[in-house]
A = this chain, B = another copy of it.
Amino acid sequence: MNNNNKVTNDIDAIPSLVQSKRQIDRYNLDIDAQAILVASRLMAAGAKLGHASEIHFSRFGLSTGRYRLLADLEDNEGEELPSQLAEHLGVTRATVTGLIDILERDGLVSRRSSSDDGRQRSVILTEEGAKKLREMAPEHFARLEAMVGLLNIEERSVFLDLLGRVTQGISALTGELGSETKGKHQ
């Protein structure tokens, strides 16, 4: 059929240990191949999850970013400033402006100029926006829970711990060389 332009289920895209070993050996580097594998796998997982997330939210007429904005609004009594949203979501204010534009066009959110500071324009969750969140909650959370369904309670704790430490380590990619354990001491 026309499955020729499908991304082949990512099955072949999973990095293997031999691949990592080969790359390291090629340049005679003193590097732990398993460490490279962890990094590569996390990267692949992140990309795959990001893509899956967009598909998931598109079922409700949303994107990942727009859902997160709505959810954050709901967590803050339905009203926030764009700059607060940007900080909470970990994106730039420019991105927030774009997210709001579409959410406002779709009636899920509205803008209101602030009285005390003329520069601020607070964002408000509309009744329709709240309804959208209410309607999608059961399926949304059920799917998220199912996603980690292959891990038992204890494994989830362990995973959170390990993931947290690797996440700290991400700064090793962006920071100066040799300062890998910088983010937090220890």
- Say which residue of B5, B87, B151, B165 sits within 8 Å of A13 (CB atoms): B87
- Say which residue of B27, B75, B143 sits within 8 Å of A172 (CB atoms): B143
Residue count of chain A within 8 Å CB distance of chain B: 87
A13, A75, A86, A186 — most chain B CB neighbours (10 Å): A13
This protein's copies in its complex: 2
User: In the bound complex, do residue B144 and residue A35 qualify as a contact, i.e. CB atoms below 8 Å apart?
Assistant: yes
Query: Which residues in A have some Cβ–Cβ distance to B below 8 Å?
Result: 5, 7-8, 10, 12-13, 19, 22-24, 26-27, 29, 31-32, 34-50, 52-53, 55-56, 64, 71, 74-75, 86-93, 134, 137-139, 141-151, 153, 155-160, 162-174, 177, 180-181, 186
